Amino acid sequence: MHQIEPFYLWQHLYKAEEDEDSPFYGREYSEFIFTNKVYNFALHPQWDFIGSETLYIKLLYASNIDGLAIIECIGEWNDCITNDIKILKEFLLDGLIDQGIENICLIGENILNFHGDNDCYYEELSNELENGQVYFLNFLPHVINEMEYFGLLNHVNTVVLSEKENWRKKTPSQFYESIHSKVQNSNKKFYI
């Protein structure tokens, strides 16, 4: 896991460590000192600790002008023991919503497992986004199945973009348009 870096090609557009409204403002990163880990696996030092021992993130883009935040995740999402959604919501998402961000995209390609509890925080998050939505992008199928079992798909949009639709080749606004259009053009809970 130490070789998996967060996506970095939008850094010319946004860096959370340079955003005064970000909880990561002023943070300095090393390329060589590995301090974060999930269980016994070291993580690349560019991932951000949010208070969970198993879930790390990278705020790739946030713009109150666009009303959009894009967050990449890695590790294990555990609501059962550590209440990771509560940690994520209180540490980052509430602040983004207060800044006027109404569309939150969480990229879950590197989420290995999900352990659910209930859907209360997801419902609360969905209700707070009056004119926006929560999107879960490219979470693994077994993770989506667990999320569905706990009723989370009633509150979030789960989208899969194919290799052909590679989100890494898009600008943040193109990224958002591609996932938003999939949701708008489908009546399913799982958008492929």
Rg (CA), the chain: 16
pTM of this structure: 0.94
DSSP string, 38-89: ETTEE--TTSEE-S-SSEEEEEEEEETTTTEEEEEEEEEEETTTS-HHHHHI
Per-residue pLDDT at 157: 93
Q: List per-residue pLDDT tens for the chain, 192 residues long.
A: 678 899 999 999 999 999 999 999 999 988 788 888 888 888 999 999 999 999 999 999 999 999 999 999 999 999 999 999 999 999 999 999 999 999 999 999 999 999 999 999 999 999 999 899 999 999 999 999 999 999 999 999 999 988 889 999 999 999 999 999 999 887 555 544
Residue 104, SS3 per DSSP: strand
Domain chopping of the chain, boundaries:
48-191
**Per-residue CA distances from 11 to 104, 109, 189 (Å):** 18, 20, 32
Per-residue pLDDT at 188: 53
Per-residue pLDDT at 42: 87
Distance linking the first and last C-alpha atoms of the chain:
27
Q: For domain 48-191, which CATH number applies: 3.40.50.720, 3.40.50.300, 3.30.750.24, 3.30.450.20?
A: 3.30.750.24
Using the structure block, give the residue that is written with the tokens 């974060």: 36
